[in-house]
Amino acid sequence: MSARRTVAVLFGGRSGEHEVSLRSAVSVVEALLPSHDVACVLIGKDGSWRLQPGPRPAPQGGVPVFLAPGPDDGGRLRGLADAVELARPDVVFPVLHGTYGEDGTVQGLLELAGLPYVGAGVASSAASMDKELMKALFARAGLPQVEYGVLRRRDPAAEADLVARLGLPLFVKPVNLGSSVGICKVKRAEELGAALDNAFRFDRKAIVEHGVDAREVEVSVLGNDEPRASVPGEIVPDREFYDYDSKYDAASRTELRIPAPLPAALADELRRTAVAAFRAVDCAGCARVDFFLERAGGRVLLNEINTMPGFTSISMYPKLWAASGVPFPELVARLVELALERHAQRARLHTDYAG
């Protein structure tokens, strides 16, 4: 029997999704523990790294540690006070959502340190987090989307143009954030300014999208060069749209329909489009792809891709795979193997030119 691998689970982070990450980490660690050793590393809202003493993640506590940005140190986690080795992970599972975690920043550090890690690489993570870049890549791949515009500052003329071009209602979102943080639905033109001010609290760019009357459907994708898609699932929110509280509040009455009640041909189209979106951003490991299914015309419209989807007990990503025949522990173990597979592939590449 092969030795148990040590997985460093990074969680928390400097983003508005810090608390969601804590919940995801709890589920991931529980699934890993029967077959892996786990080092829990809490990244605080201040950016500090803390190696926690127990095998399960906690919302606070731990010894301050750092990771040297060079492969010669072997990916060791060292004490910040004295540089003594405290852990030597074989692979990292960055269960981080949003900025400073899902956006290529942590992925870049792990690349420099020479550590295998679960999920998308630097470029894919960055492009998928930035909705403006993501949508440009989807458009380049010919994938259908809602009409949208991007603003970098308040501009009354540009705002009026967006209302005229896109129509009402509108959805306003920070470009670089997830979990529905900072999202507002705009029903009247005079509400747009306040919605933009709210979005600019979280990011320097705001995206404004035409609001469609649609069902919300999600598909999970798993793999590296040969990704495959789960059965689709439908979200029926308990309020006007699927906001943060609808997703995570314990009192939420949002309904998850798994599998989604769809004709077989439409389900296949969603699965094909999910894989196409995964490939359009050069994703790896895992992703959840979100769709709008227009009620009137039945059009499939791609909404976004999440390169580190939620792994909480109520999250769609693991639930969709469970419904597709891959239980949570098997799913997490597979993600670790995909990380090692991708790292080995990259390690074979040349980094110099001998002529």
Provide DSSP, 81-127.
Answer: TT--EEE--SEEEEE--STTTSSSHHHHHHHHHT--BSS--HHHHHH
List, in sequence order, every residue forming a beta bridge with 300; answer none if it has no partner. Answer: 293
Which residue is catalytic, options 27, 101, 304, 324?
304
Residue 155 annotated among the catalytic residues of the structure = no
Has 288 been annotated as catalytic? yes
Tokens of 201: 């609290």
Residue 257 annotated among the catalytic residues of the structure: no
Which of 27, 128, 176, 306 is an active site residue? 306
**Active-site residue flag, 290:** yes
Query: Does residue 310 have an active-site annotation?
Result: yes
Q: Which of 98, 290, 315, 342 is catalytic?
A: 290
Residue among 124, 179, 230, 315 flagged as catalytic: 179
CA dihedral (23, 24, 30, 33) in degrees, to 10, reads -130
Report d(CA 49, CA 44) in Å as an integer: 7
Catalytic residue check, 306: yes
Question: Catalytic residue among 230, 310, 324, 342, which?
Answer: 310
Q: Which of 266, 271, 314, 333 is nearest to 293 (CA)?
A: 266
198 is catalytic: no
Catalytic residue among 5, 78, 288, 342, which? 288
Q: Is 298 a catalytic residue?
A: no
CA 274 vs CA 13, 253, 266: distances in Å: 28, 27, 12
- Residues making up the chain, counted from first to last: 355
Residue 44 · residue 50 · CB < 8 Å: yes
Which of 17, 103, 130, 203 is flagged as catalytic? 17
Residue type at position 90: D
Active-site amino acid positions:
17, 179, 248, 288, 290, 304, 306, 310
